[in-house]
Amino acid sequence: MAEDKKTVPKKKFNPDNIPPIGDDNQPKNKNRFNIYWVYGLVFAGILVYNFTRSFTSAGVETNQIKFTELVKQGDVESIKTIRNKKIVRVFIKKDSLDKKTDVYKALLGKQYDIVTKAIGPQLFFPIVDEKTFASQMQDFYKKYPTIGEIPDSPDDEGELFGQLVSTLLPILLIGLLFVMMMRKVGGPGGGSGGPGGIFNIGKSKATLFDKASRVNINFGDVAGLDEAKVEVMEIVDFLKNPKKYTALGGKIPKGALLIGPPGTGKTLLAKAVAGEAQVPFFSLSGSDFVEMFVGVGASRVRDLFKQAREKAPCIIFIDEIDAIGRARGKNMMMSNDERENTLNQLLVEMDGFGTDLGIIILAATNRPDVLDTALLRPGRFDRQITIDKPDMVGREAIFKVHLTPIKISTTLDIYKLAEQTPGFAGADIANVCNEAALIAARKNKEAVDMSDFQDAIDRVIGGLEKKNKIISPEEKEIIAYHEAGHAVCGWFLEHAYPLLKVTVVPRGSAALGYAQYTPKEQYLYNTDQLMDQICMTLGGRASEDIFFGKISTGASNDLQQITKIAYSMITVYGMNEKVGNISYYDPNQENTFTKPFSEETGKMIDEEVRKLINQAYIRTKELLTLKKGDVELLAKELLRKEVLFKSDVEALIGKRPYEEKKALDIKPEDVVTNEPETAMPEELKNPPII
């Protein structure tokens, strides 16, 4: 399936359009508010406050006796009572500092009180007895009028304000910092909650596409998914022309679930629906509901459907719905109440007591086996649209879509490209087209030709070519005979895949060489076909044994493949007389901790698998012994050329004896309807490279 194109039209790069540095026509960055300025101002305020507090406490503590001596000596400028008349502040004359008494020595170097505008150094002492002190001060006023009469607590209010400031300011600053941190956490690039910070964490994070912000993708950009397009186009048509269906008594489907392997175009199909629907389209992923706080997922589901009801009729698209839609209660050891609460709320909103019409839900997943059955029932997801990997016709259509912006050679054969990429999804094909364009640009070509696509396919399948990997001549010879064994077995076995190319050029992290085949587009495999695949895969190991008398570790991947096929033949497809017509295949993984067969049966299965592989190995050695000259001829040519194509093999050992058989004409009356056959699971198919 073709992956999505850019939503913004591509613009050709023109170096002349780049404005020079310092050009006045360039868009200038506007002065935007920066939260770090606030942090700096708050920090500066704290410093100023602490600095001024140090001035207010710049006095020296004394007692009432020493204060009496200072008054008698005429050193006191004035006095005030502060803090509710409990403390006396004494202002000393500047000239009195010349006296070398202990009190004045302590005052030297002290700062002036800038808050109360004091004219000299200060002394502080608490009042022990208010009445005694008041009568004493009356006597001092009469004897020493220079000190002046004590004001009626002029600093009480100021000191009370200072106490309030000293108490409340740290609390206010901490609260302000907390609010700013929460806003920062909730802002763009931060944590959760979206605009408005953590206090809006329960709001839905769905992206709305409407007339103002439409998606520039339509069904014409989706290739290779004709059946799936028909299903979703009907939903779009229902939204555009509802009377056509309601006049016949039809009801709009509640939802459609897109199921398929990764890269097949589920999200692209949803984008095409958004571009064609002409109704509001909400898009989000399953993980957008999940959060570290309890209850957030269910709250976001409620908010999402609240917004959707306001915009109805509309479409909601949930990508990767398996993040919240996993089956409940299957694994109690790893249960997640928060995720299950989110799923419960989604189930109620989709089809509950107060469900509204006019909201269609599209969802996509590549794990339908883990979804809850309540989510899949009719009334919630009425349609399950399966999107498989495209066949050859679909791949050809996808190549045409992705080759549109690429400058290709006139000799490029798109049909052959589709033929050489079996099992490729739309994303893989898009990657091949992009890699081919990059390879052609690296070679300074004016157009992308077939050789560039061949290199791109090799790179996508086998990895990066390791030209500088040092391989000894002995190892290279073993690799050549190994790959020649694969090629000859595939060439002379009737049901083996047709050979495309064989190479001894190392690629990727582990592949020292490989033989590439073009599998036929088929869904059913018989016993002879599977046995021929096993023999072809064992050809490399058998060739090493015949020509060198010993085996290497190069067949590790081959052994993994044949073991998987052999076990599938016996335990899944019932292709063994001793085990019988029994299948132990468990697609839903319900028997994770226990085997569905006894220990004796398991031992019998292991023996039959070993027996089957041993028979295939003997057959492979017999074939390669018979065709020993052909293997040696191919191996020597591989050592010389490193890469051999199908035409080269034909020139060396002749045409393949088993050409593709033509399909027989079957009359409709000869067709017998029987129980539907089950196709081989994708994970059990033999890959085209060994």
- Residues assigned a catalytic role: 483
Helix (H) or strand (E) holding 363: strand 359-365
Sort strands 314-319 and 281-285 into parallel, antiparallel or unpaired.
parallel
* Element housing 175 (H / E): helix 156-186
Q: Which residues pair with 316 in a beta bridge?
A: 282, 361
With H, G, I as helix, E, B as strand and everything else as coil, classify residue 172.
helix
C-alpha angle 120/124/128, rounded to 5°?
150
Task: Judge whether 356 and 306 are in contact, CB under 8 Å.
Answer: no
Tokens of 266: 């589920």
What ranges in 315-472 are assigned the alpha helix state H?
337-350, 373-376, 392-402, 414-419, 426-442, 450-462
Q: Do 223 and 2 touch, CB atoms closer than 8 A?
A: yes
Q: Is the separation of the CB atoms in 91 and 120 below 8 Å?
A: yes
End-to-end CA distance of the chain: 26
At position 37, the amino acid (one-letter code) is W
- Nearest Cα neighbor of 406 from 428, 427, 431, 424 is 431
Q: Which helix (H) or strand (E) holds 122?
A: strand 122-126
What are the C-alpha distances in Å from 321 to residues 280, 288, 324, 356, 471?
Answer: 20, 10, 6, 21, 48
Buried b (16+ CB within 10 A) or exposed e, 167-191: eeeeeeeeeeeeeeebbbebeeeee
Q: Do the Cβ atoms of 559 and 551 come closer than 8 Å?
A: no
Instruction: Tell me the C-alpha distance between 204 and 463, whole Å.
Output: 41
Q: Strand ranges (DSSP E) for 12-72?
A: 60-61
**CA separation for the pair 633, 640 (Å, rounded):** 11
CA 379 vs CA 256, 352, 382, 431: distances in Å: 10, 10, 6, 38
Tokens of 221: 């950009």
Distance CA 76, CA 279 (A): 86
Helix (H) or strand (E) holding 158: helix 156-186
